[in-house]
């Protein structure tokens, strides 16, 4: 029990559970299954982008990928446009989404490396170009996703949403990558101290490049799934995932300063963020309060997290 | 070559402004008049103020990602409370400035990443703005409106205001003891601390001063647009960062130039008009801004290379 | 209560009130006892020469005196009154000034603006003119004919010029005259002529009643300038005498030489095939042969570290991990370039050899643990468990982990950037033995050190000056005398 309590990710689950109970309490338990399934589904999308963002944040101070929302929008738009509702092109669509992710990832790191600017500015500039590309492709048309894919993203297996199962699979892979492979060690080393990692003979550029690539690909895949889930790509579909991807990483107990990440916390944080919004909705509070709460939660969590670090020192 | 580094830094912004201005006059000769200039640079004044605000944050090696939402929030307050009950409005704005000072303190004391904290704050400001003004509306305070639409002889208001701002910011940040202190914190915080200064006070005042400029930006903006909405200035986050960089500032090391920042803001405003005169599809307007930012950063890198080569020889 | 060495206790009653007195100060950094019950009184009109090897505690006592570091134990007095609380502000108001080893100016500000930062009381209208006059007059007094434009930015100055400005800044007077000036390796980037100007000024300052603490690796400077010499070792004061009480040999002996005299082990391998070479933009090229220990000597900051980094960058991967690394690096600045603070000892040790410890892309726990256990016993890392955090180790043991990290790779060449910084004498001896044994087994070492004596352990030594190799010494020719002569040749000629 004590070792469990010392895990940084446990708190996000505790928070998620209490909000879940509070919401159930108001609705009188009528919507328990529906709420839980919705929470798992929406959390799954946050988890997908959150994992990518977590790898980037692991790389250390200043490493944040702000192009996540634009990448999601572009990949969703392009893939849906290509598939044009045809079930036979689902795989092609996925490959196209991944290709979009690769392209954005490569360009992101090319900017970071070639212009030697902070990643945050490089990815921000890139996101504007990607966003424009999405607007240009979209042209205000709303193309329906292939029926098979739409069904897959909205249905459940064994009572658990398919999307959540998929996100779980990717989470497990991410955990192995982070904790069992040399790559995971290397990016954690880079995040703790870039010069020390370089001096230890770690191929810093290669590892950072792969990480930005990974983040962009995950964002692209998430955009592809989200577009299918919501019945078509919308230009603003990625917007809320900018802060969300960072928030779930931070709330999940990953060190904002880098070098120390954890995958389970992202699940707790993603569930928590969705449940807070739905709780505020249940209580009848508007968009303004929701925004304020989101911001306040993030700042509170960073404050608490920094306090935790200071205490163990 | 006997040019000082500061002069060199100003070359890129001044040249880009002149090139753009020439381009605009070539495409649209009618712009070469009192009213034309006023129209071209009208929106530059609030952007320039926000850029100076961002520059102050960057002077202490931080970055404010909530600039856009904060200016929007201020605009909403100005169009409602400041117009209806000036005293209450002023108090709200003062409280907002105090919040900024507190942010500076917290970020320093807890050693938090300013990027994440201000990203969280951006949601808080956005939420407050939505609460104050759920739908676009409100009325600008008469005095703000009067100042912004006044037509002084010889030169349009926008140009005079920008010039005054540049001079004032230069005196405050480049010539005064206070400015030296803030730039010293950005350059070598430890040595400033060793000389017996309170870093806490320096950072708090840098943030408070930045907020003051941002408040001025919001009021000016409302003065121009006569009404406000919660998303009125979201672009300012990127514009202000780009303006500082374009004007010769750097992300770290306390290397900033107030005159350059104002020129950078003017250039960016002009770039918007230039792009529309070029009849670039509105789809690509955002992308073009991203591209301009990338080009500017590439130019800067080139200039830095030349500078360091010149220094080594 | 740590027992004080008899020499450290002063008969306080017989002397005039000290400008500053530290009584029984102790400072710990984790497991490291950086300062272990040190007492030191600085009287007006004396220049204290503070000597000791790297990590002896000199910089720590300086931090305590200038108020930057609050000791965990001990008291501070000035002019007979106890100062509590003590801090940077109090120290400055008592006229304590310090010139640090690292750059402590703001490179983005002009010299005048830096003067404004240094002197809090200088404000008010027209401060630029006053600041310019203050710093210019101080520069003129210490370094006549300095040729520095005080309105220019600090970033444009050379290292020597920055050092000069910092020194002038410490001696400058803006209404609060300096009474105690601490100079931490002030001549490390100055040429002989400027160093002589500075030391002459120190003597003048002391003669007029000021107090100076002078820290220097150049024992001659200490012997010529100081009126009293204090020797530190492992966080304690081990000897303290008036200047006449030491000669050069006596001072070296008091510092406790860590280096066993083993010139017999020196081998001449320079004729064999080089495993590593690098052409430098000017001066002689660098090359190292299999099984050789090559020393890089010269004054600090004259291009040795830059060349090591160039060697490393040239041979280490940027984009794709290599299974067989060509070079490996042992950093001296552990905090900055060495350890990963969030990790265990084991992870810190194995990070450079993860490729060897993985199968099918996964790190093998058993293989990693076995590798850790092997090196724990081989170089005696003093810890109950290799899974403890790296920060639970003392500085010397952390450095051993860094050595184990480098030596456990298969890289044939080890680059070392002043790796003995802050390491105690016992650990140093063990590491010297390891280096020798590995070299005999065919490894090549390239070793930069500021400690003269470590150069004596090398087979061959390159002496650096202004970014270039200016001399190559082999065998018996490797001596402090020859190294110093080569380091300063330009001024002598």
Q: Choose, out of A188, A191, A201, A203, the residue to mutate when testing the contact with C (most C CBs < 10 Å).
A: A201
**According to the model, what pLDDT value does residue C264 have?**
46
The pLDDT assigned to A311 comes to: 38
Say if residue C332's pLDDT is above 80: no
Question: How do residues B74-83 score in pLDDT, each as one tens digit?
Answer: 999 999 999 8
Higher per-residue pLDDT: B68 or A89: B68
Contacts B187 to C, Cβ<8 Å: 106-109
Give chain A positions within 8 Å (CB) of B283.
132, 135-136
A141 lies within 8 A of chain B by CB:
no
Chain B: residues touching A (Cβ < 8 Å): 63, 106, 110-113, 115-117, 119-131, 134, 238, 241, 245, 251, 281, 283-291, 293-294, 297-298, 301
**pLDDT category, C183, cuts 50, 70, 90?**
very high
Least CB-CB distance to C118: which of B175, B177, B195? B195
CB contact under 8 A, A199 and C338: yes
Does the pLDDT at position B300 exceed 80? no
CA distance A186 to chain C (A): 8
- CA distances in angstroms from C385 to B6, C376, C426, listed in the order given: 55, 10, 22
Interface A-C, measured as beta-carbon pairs within 8 A, has a size of: 86
Instruction: Find, among A283, A294, A299, the residue nearest to A239 by Cα.
Output: A294
Closest CA to B113 of B62, B186, B189: B62
Q: State the pLDDT at residue B282.
A: 76
Residue C268: per-residue pLDDT: 66
pLDDT at A81 over 90: no
- For residue C83, give how far its alpha carbon lies from the nearest alpha carbon of chain B (Å): 16
Per CB distance under 8 Å, which residues of C are interface residues toward B? 66, 68, 88-89, 92, 98, 100, 103-109, 113-114, 116-120, 122-123, 127-128, 152-153, 155-156
Choosing among 3.40.50, 1.10.3470, 2.40.160, 3.60.21, the CATH entry for A8-312 is: 1.10.3470
d(CA C38, CA C5): 9
Nearest to C405 among A200, A205, A260 (CB): A200
DSSP state of B311: H
Q: Are strands C444-448 and C413-417 parallel, antiparallel or unpaired?
A: parallel
Taking the CA of residue A189 and the nearest CA in chain C, the distance in Å comes to 7
For residue A281, give the nearest of A3, A1, A22, A6 by alpha carbon: A22
Q: Find the residue in C nearest to A189 (Cα).
A: C340
Across the interface, whether the CB atoms of C319 and A189 are under 8 A apart is answered no
Which 3-state string (H, E, C) describes C13-26?
HHCCCCCEEEEEEE
Q: Looking at the complex, does the CB of residue A209 fall below 8 Å from at least one CB of chain C?
A: yes
Residue percentage of chain B with pLDDT more than 90? 42
> What are the DSSP E strand ranges found in chain A?
156-157, 160-161
Q: Provide the 3-class DSSP secondary structure of residue C215.
A: strand
Nearest chain A residue to C356, by CA:
A182
Out of A62, A114, A132, the one facing B284 most closely (by C-beta) is A132
Contacts of A124 in chain B (CB under 8 A): 238, 241, 290
Tens of pLDDT, residue by residue over A145-189, are: 888 888 888 888 888 888 899 999 999 999 999 999 999 999 999
Mutate which: B119, B238, B246, vs A, most A CBs within 10 A: B119
**Is residue A213 less than 8 Å (CB to CB) from chain C?**
no
C347, with CB counted inside 10 A (0-12, 13-18, 19+), is buried
Tell me the nearest-neighbour CA distance from B207 into chain C, angstroms. 20
Chain A residues close to C320, C-beta within 8 Å: 203, 206
More reliable by pLDDT, B252 or C14: B252
Query: What confidence tens digit (pLDDT) does each residue in C6-51 have?
Result: 444 444 445 568 888 888 888 887 666 788 888 999 999 999 999 8
Give the one of C320, C352, C355 whose C-beta lies nearest to A200's C-beta. Answer: C352
CB contact under 8 A, C362 and A180: yes
Could you give all domains of chain B from N- to C-terminal order, each with its CATH number?
5-304 (1.10.3470)
Of residues A185 and A236, the one with the higher pLDDT is: A185
Instruction: Identify all chain B residues contacting A116, using CB atoms and an 8 Å cutoff.
Output: 301
Query: Min CA distance, B284 vs chain A (Å)?
Result: 5
Q: Do A306 and B112 touch (CB under 8 A)?
A: yes
Q: Is the ipTM of this complex over 0.85?
A: yes
What residues in B contact A259, CB-CB < 8 Å?
Answer: none
What gap in Å lies between CA C217 and CA C450, rounded to an integer?
8
Q: Which chains touch A (3 or more CB pairs under 8 A)?
A: B, C
| CB-CB neighbors (< 8 A) of B57 in chain A | none
The pLDDT value recorded for residue B96 is 96
Average pLDDT of A96-104? 92
Q: Would the CB atoms of B188 and C127 count as touching at under 8 Å?
A: no
Q: Is C322–A203 a contact, with Cβ atoms under 8 angstroms apart? A: yes
CA distance C297 to C320: 33
Q: Are C367 and C375 in contact (CB under 8 A)?
A: no
- C329 vs A200: CB contact, 8 Å cut-off? yes
Confidence bin at A248 (pLDDT 50/70/90): confident
Number of CB pairs, chain A paired with chain B, less than 8 A apart: 129
- Chain A contacts of B119, Cβ < 8 Å? 243, 246, 298
Instruction: Give the separation between CA B60 and CA B262, rounded to whole angstroms.
Output: 19
Q: In this structure, are residues C173 and C134 in contact, taking their beta carbons and an 8 Å threshold?
A: yes
- Provide the residue count of chain C: 493
Q: How far is C428 from chain B (nearest CA, A)?
A: 31
How far apart CA B284 and CA B211 sit, in angstroms, is: 32
pTM of this structure: 0.83
Across the interface, of B177, B194, B253, the residue whose CB is closest to C116 is B177
C202 within 8 A of C225, measured Cβ to Cβ: yes
Which of A19-33, B126-140, B276-290, C266-280 is least confident?
C266-280
Q: By the CB < 8 Å criterion, does A121 face chain B?
A: yes
- Chain B residue with the nearest C-alpha to that of A294: B123
Residue C290: pLDDT over 50: yes
pLDDT at C460 over 80: yes
Distance of CA B160 to CAs B148, B170, B285, Å? 11, 15, 28
Residues B193-236 pLDDT 10s: 888 889 999 999 999 999 999 999 999 999 998 889 888 888 89
Please report the residues numbered 260 through 299 in chain A whose beta carbons come closer than 8 angstroms to any beta carbon of chain B.
Answer: 286-296, 298-299
Across the interface, whether the CB atoms of A118 and B251 are under 8 A apart is answered yes
Query: Residue A2 has what pLDDT?
Result: 56
Contact C117 B311 (CB under 8 A): no
**Strands ordered across the beta sheet of C180-184:** C96-99, C180-184, C211-215, C47-51, C228-233, C236-242
Q: Which of A184, A60, A198 is nearest to A119 (CA)?
A: A60
In this complex, the residue of A202, A203, A260 whose CB is nearest that of residue C342 is: A260
Residue of A74, A114, A115, A128 to mutate, testing the B interface (most B Cβ within 10 Å of its Cβ): A128
**Using omega within 30 degrees of 0 as the cis cutoff, is the peptide bond preceding C85 cis?**
yes
Give the chain B residue whose CA is nearest to the CA of C95. B195
Q: Where are the domains of chain A?
A: 8-312
A198 contact residues in C (CB cutoff 8 A)? 316
pLDDT score recorded for residue B308? 67
pLDDT, residue A247, reads 83
Nearest-angstrom CA–CA distance, C454 and C445:
13
Determine, for residues C108 and B5 on separate chains, whether the beta-carbon distance falls below 8 Å: no
Burial class for B158, CB neighbours closer than 10 Å (0-12, 13-18, 19+): buried
Burial environment of residue C35 by CB neighbours within 10 A (0 to 12, 13 to 18, 19 or more):
buried
């Amino acid at each position: 029990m004590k070792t469990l309590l010392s895990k940084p990710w446990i708190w996000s689950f505790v928070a998620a559970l209490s909000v879940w109970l509070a919401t159930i309490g108001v609705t009188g338990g009528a919507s328990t299954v529906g709420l839980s399934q919705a929470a798992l589904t929406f959390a799954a999308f946050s988890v997908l982008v959150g994992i990518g963002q977590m790898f980037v944040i692991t790389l250390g101070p200043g490493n944040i990928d702000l192009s996540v929302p634009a990448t999601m929008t572009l990949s969703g738009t392009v893939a849906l446009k290509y598939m044009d509702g045809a079930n036979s092109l689902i795989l092609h669509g996925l490959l196209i989404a991944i290709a979009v992710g690769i392209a954005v990832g490569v360009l992101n790191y090319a900017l970071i490396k070639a212009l030697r600017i902070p990643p945050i500015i490089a990815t921000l500039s890139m996101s504007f170009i990607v966003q424009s590309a999405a607007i240009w492709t979209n042209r205000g048309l709303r193309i329906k996703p292939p029926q098979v894919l739409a069904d897959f993203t909205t249905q459940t297996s064994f009572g658990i949403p398919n999307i959540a199962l998929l996100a779980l699979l990717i989470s497990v892979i991410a955990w192995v990558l982070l904790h069992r492979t040399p790559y995971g060690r290397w990016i954690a080393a880079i995040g703790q101290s870039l010069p020390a990692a370089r001096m230890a003979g770690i191929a810093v550029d290669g590892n950072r490049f792969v990480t930005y690539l990974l983040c962009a690909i995950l964002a692209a895949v998430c955009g592809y799934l989200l577009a299918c889930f919501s019945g078509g790509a919308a230009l603003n579909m990625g917007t809320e995932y900018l802060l969300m991807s960072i928030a779930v990483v931070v709330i999940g107990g990953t060190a904002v300063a880098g070098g120390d990440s954890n995958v389970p916390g992202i699940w707790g944080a993603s569930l928590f963020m969705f449940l807070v919004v739905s709780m505020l909705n249940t209580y009848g509070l508007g968009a303004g309060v929701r925004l304020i709460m989101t911001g306040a939660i993030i700042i509170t969590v960073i404050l608490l997290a920094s306090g935790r670090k200071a205490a163990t020192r | 070559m006997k040019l000082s580094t500061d002069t060199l830094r100003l070359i890129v912004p001044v040249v880009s402004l002149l090139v753009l201005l020439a381009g605009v006059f070539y495409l649209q000769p009618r712009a070469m008049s009192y009213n034309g200039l006023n129209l071209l640079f009208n929106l530059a004044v609030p952007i320039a103020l926000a850029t100076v605000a961002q520059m102050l944050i960057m002077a202490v090696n931080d970055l404010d990602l909530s600039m856009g939402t904060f200016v929007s929030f201020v605009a909403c307050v100005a169009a409602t409370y400041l117009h209806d009950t000036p005293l209450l409005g002023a108090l709200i704005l003062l409280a907002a400035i105090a919040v900024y000072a507190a942010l500076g303190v917290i970020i320093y004391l807890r050693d938090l990443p300013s990027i994440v904290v201000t990203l969280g704050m951006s949601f808080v400001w956005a939420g407050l703005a939505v609460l104050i003004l759920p739908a676009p509306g409100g009325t600008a305070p008469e005095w703000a409106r009067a100042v912004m639409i006044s037509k002084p002889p010889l030169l349009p208001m926008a140009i005079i205001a920008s010039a005054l701002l540049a001079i004032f910011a230069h005196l405050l940040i480049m010539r005064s003891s206070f400015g030296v202190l803030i730039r010293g914190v950005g350059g070598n915080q430890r040595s400033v601390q060793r000389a017996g200064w309170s870093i806490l006070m320096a950072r708090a005042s840098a943030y408070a001063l930045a907020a003051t400029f941002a408040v001025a930006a919001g009021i000016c903006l409302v003065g121009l647009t006569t009404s406000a909405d919660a998303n009125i200035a979201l672009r300012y986050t990127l514009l202000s960062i780009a303006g500082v960089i374009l004007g010769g500032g750097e992300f770290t090391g306390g290397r900033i130039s107030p005159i350059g920042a104002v020129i950078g803001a003017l250039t960016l405003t002009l770039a918007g008009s230039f792009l529309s005169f070029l009849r670039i599809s509105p789809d690509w307007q955002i992308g073009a801004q991203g591209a301009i930012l990338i080009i500017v950063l590439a130019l800067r890198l080139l200039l830095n290379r030349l500078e360091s080569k010149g220094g080594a020889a | 209560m740590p027992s004080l060495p008899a020499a450290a206790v002063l008969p306080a009653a017989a002397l005039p009130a000290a400008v500053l007195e530290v009584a029984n100060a102790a400072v710990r950094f984790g497991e490291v006892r950086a300062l272990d019950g040190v007492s030191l009184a600085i009287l007006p009109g004396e220049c204290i020469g503070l000597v000791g090897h790297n990590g002896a505690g000199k910089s720590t006592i300086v931090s305590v005196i200038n108020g930057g570091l609050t000791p965990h134990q001990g008291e501070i007095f000035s002019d007979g009154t106890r100062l509590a609380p003590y801090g940077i502000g109090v120290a400055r108001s008592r006229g304590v000034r310090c010139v640090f080893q690292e750059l402590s100016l703001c490179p983005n500000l002009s010299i005048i603006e830096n003067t404004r930062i240094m002197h809090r009381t200088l404000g008010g209208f027209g401060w630029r003119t006053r600041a310019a006059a203050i710093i210019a007059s101080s520069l003129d007094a210490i370094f006549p004919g300095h040729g520095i434009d005080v309105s220019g930015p600090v970033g444009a100055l050379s290292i020597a010029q920055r050092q000069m400005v910092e020194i002038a800044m410490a001696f400058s007077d803006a209404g609060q005259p300096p009474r105690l000036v601490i100079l931490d390796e002030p001549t490390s980037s100055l040429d002989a002529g400027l160093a002589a100007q500075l030391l002459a000024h120190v003597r003048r300052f002391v003669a007029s009643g000021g107090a100076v603490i002078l820290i220097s690796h150049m024992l001659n400077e200490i012997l010529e300038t100081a009126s009293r010499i204090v020797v530190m070792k492992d966080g304690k004061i081990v000897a303290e005498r008036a200047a006449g009480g030491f000669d050069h040999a006596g001072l070296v002996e008091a510092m406790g030489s860590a280096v066993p005299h083993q010139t017999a082990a020196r081998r001449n391998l320079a004729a064999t095939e080089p495993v590593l070479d690098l052409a430098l933009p000017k001066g002689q090229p660098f090359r190292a042969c299999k099984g050789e220990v090559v020393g890089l000597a010269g004054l600090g900051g004259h291009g040795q570290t830059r060349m090591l980094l160039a060697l490393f960058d040239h041979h280490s991967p940027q984009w794709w991990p290599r299974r067989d690394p060509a070079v490996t690096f042992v950093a001296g600045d552990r905090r900055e370039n060495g350890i990963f603070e969030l990790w265990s000892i084991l992870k810190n040790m194995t990070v450079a050899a993860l490729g060897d410890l993985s199968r099918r892309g996964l790190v093998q726990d058993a293989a990693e643990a076995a590798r850790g256990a092997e090196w724990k016993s081989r170089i005696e890392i003093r810890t109950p468990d290799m899974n403890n955090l790296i920060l639970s180790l003392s500085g010397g043991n952390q450095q051993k982990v860094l050595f184990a990290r480098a030596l456990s790779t298969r890289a044939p060449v080890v680059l070392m950037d002043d790796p003995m910084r802050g390491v105690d004498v016992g650990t140093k001896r063990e590491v010297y033995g390891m280096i020798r044994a590995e070299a005999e087994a065919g490894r090549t070492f390239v070793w930069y050190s500021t400690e003269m004596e470590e150069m004596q352990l090398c087979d061959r030594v390159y002496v650096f000056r202004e970014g270039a190799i200016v001399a190559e010494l082999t065998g018996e020719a490797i001596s402090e005398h020859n190294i110093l002569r080569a380091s300063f040749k330009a001024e002598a000629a």
